[in-house]
Amino acid sequence: MIKLLKTLFLSLAISTYAFSAYSVNDTIILRSEIYAEKIATDLDSLVNSWYVKMALKELEPDFQADSLGQEFPDSVYIERLNKINSVIRIPYNSIIRNHIHVYTIRQRKNFSAVLGLLDYYFPMFEDIFDSMGLPTELKYVSVIESALNPNAVNRHTGATGLWQFMFSTGRLYGLTINSVVDERRDPVRATYAAARYLKDLYGIYNDWLLVIAAYNCGPGNVNKAIRRSGNKKDYWEIYYRLPRETRGFIPQYVAALYAVNFYREHKIRPLPLNIPVSTDTILVRKDIHLKQISEVMGIPLDELRALNPQYRTGLIPGSTKPFSLTLPMSHLGDFIDLNDTIRKHKPEVYLTKVNRTEDPSRSSYVPADVKGKTKLIYTVKEGDNLGFIAEWYKVPLSDLRYWNNIYRNTIHIGQKIAVYVDPSKAEYFSRVNSLSFAEKQQMTGKPAPASPVATPVLQGSDDDYIIYTVRQGDTIWDIIKRYDNVSPTDVLSLNNISDPGKIQVGQVLRIKKKS
């Protein structure tokens, strides 16, 4: 359970290196909001992953016999954090201290599973971030986003993968997401996408703490917090203007950084996992199923799935475009030698239309609490989009897409959309289909937007911008591909758009011309 700890800040610990001091009025009480429940949920999910379960089966009885942990004085935490070389400011206060205790005391056993994965994931992250000129310390964001679990799914928002991409943001940064492939779960592709997103955010804020906060809640929320705090651009100055979850994000980041670097001092032992550190990838240009590879080569199917989590059904649809297959280095040569044998193995079983889209044994995103819900049908009308429909029925947008097999923003007038609602509210929501657009917006407490949507007032002449009017089926990603050297964040921030999935037909966008 989330525990709210109230601490009187008469002073904050001040360090002479890599720490910033924050003046706090003696009468102000800061709440230390510890999101132990989220951390525990992420760690529990990781413990259920294949490599971790296999390791736990073989674990010696005395592994981590000490489950109590130890608290240290603030001066010790400060001294240790000072030893970490980082271009990102590392603050310290009692909020951060309490988050450190979550990893090193309350969740120390499960945290050992994260430590066991570091040798597999961190070199990959460091190589990608370094190649893009980003601080490699950003790798710790993945620890607090997913506990290094590529199959992590936020049941409230649908955010998925190591870097917890929302559907719209993942598509925005070029990830393939459909019923067969979800590259938000692909460690390499998702990390490249996260690196591009973080780089775009740094172009806006020029401050890594604000970048990390914006990664969690979106640049729109950070911009709003900055405006409401009198244009202050310091994380701690805008702390209480940020969404509740994001207030804990920077403390969690520092806590994760601390715990990964100083777990030995807390007598936490990394869980010994048999995940192969040495792997290689090969491009697959024809359809092939992981079960074919498993049965011919004798590699456990769950191991193949753990190494290739992006293939939701087990099918690698190489005939549509080349996709990568990750294998332990020791098996790569055998795969090449046995390629023809593998492809001829039960293709009528594993490459049929049914098995391309269904694999009951495969863990994939399933909307929460569908069982027992009442199914309603909504008919799409002019001016509708999926974001509006999700708001009217108070359901997550990711669930709405999943229920209707929709993988873009495109819907058409007359299309039937299935929506699952609580039976006790079915009568209330059943009237949505017959209401006018304005009446539906009124249900959510929002006015009907003008048509076309007003464009923000910007400095500069119209000659400085390309004017684009959103058309039916457009996404931000589709739009920016029409222009050279334009990033998604450029368009989103310029037009004050916080949710790229909610652009509307007729909306006028301004795109800065590049000199």
The domain at 462-512 falls in which architecture? Roll (3.10)
> What are the tens digits of pLDDT across the range 329-350?
889 999 999 999 999 999 988 8
Q: How far apart are CA 114 and CA 271, in angstroms?
A: 8
Helix (H) or strand (E) holding 287: strand 287-289
In this structure, the number of other CB atoms found within 10 A of the CB of residue 298 comes to 9
Q: State which of 2-6, 150-154, 285-289 shows the largest mean pLDDT.
A: 285-289
Domain boundaries, given as residue ranges, for the chain? 3-266, 279-357, 374-443, 462-512
Tokens of 495: 């037009």
* 279-282, long-range: CB < 8 A, 24+ apart: 279/307, 279/326, 279/327, 279/328, 279/329, 280/326, 280/327, 280/329, 280/332, 281/188, 281/324, 281/325, 281/326, 281/327, 282/324, 282/325, 282/327, 282/332, 282/335, 282/336
State the amino acid at position 401 in one-letter form.
Answer: R
> What are the tens digits of pLDDT across the range 162-194?
999 998 889 889 999 988 999 999 999 999 999
Residue 437 or 195, more confident: 195
Query: Residue 30 above 50 pLDDT?
Result: no
Q: Which segments of 431-505 does DSSP mark as H helices, in order?
A: 437-443, 476-480, 488-494
Give the pLDDT score at 32. Answer: 39
Class level of CATH domain 374-443: alpha beta
> What are the tens digits of pLDDT across the range 471-491?
766 777 767 767 766 777 778
Helix (H) or strand (E) holding 303: helix 301-307
Q: In percent, how much of the chain has pLDDT > 70?
A: 77
Question: Out of 41-45, 227-231, 297-301, 378-382, which region has the weakest mean confidence (pLDDT)?
Answer: 41-45
CATH fold match for the domains 374-443 and 462-512:
yes
Give the pLDDT score at 457. Answer: 38
CATH number for the region 3-266 comes to 1.10.530.10
> What are the tens digits of pLDDT across the range 305-331?
999 999 999 999 998 889 999 999 889
Band of the pLDDT at 468, cuts 50, 70, 90?
confident
Query: Residue 428 above 60 pLDDT?
Result: yes
Give the pLDDT score at 446. Answer: 59
> What are the tens digits of pLDDT across the range 194-215?
999 999 999 999 999 999 999 9
**C-alpha torsion sign, points 438, 444, 445, 447:** negative
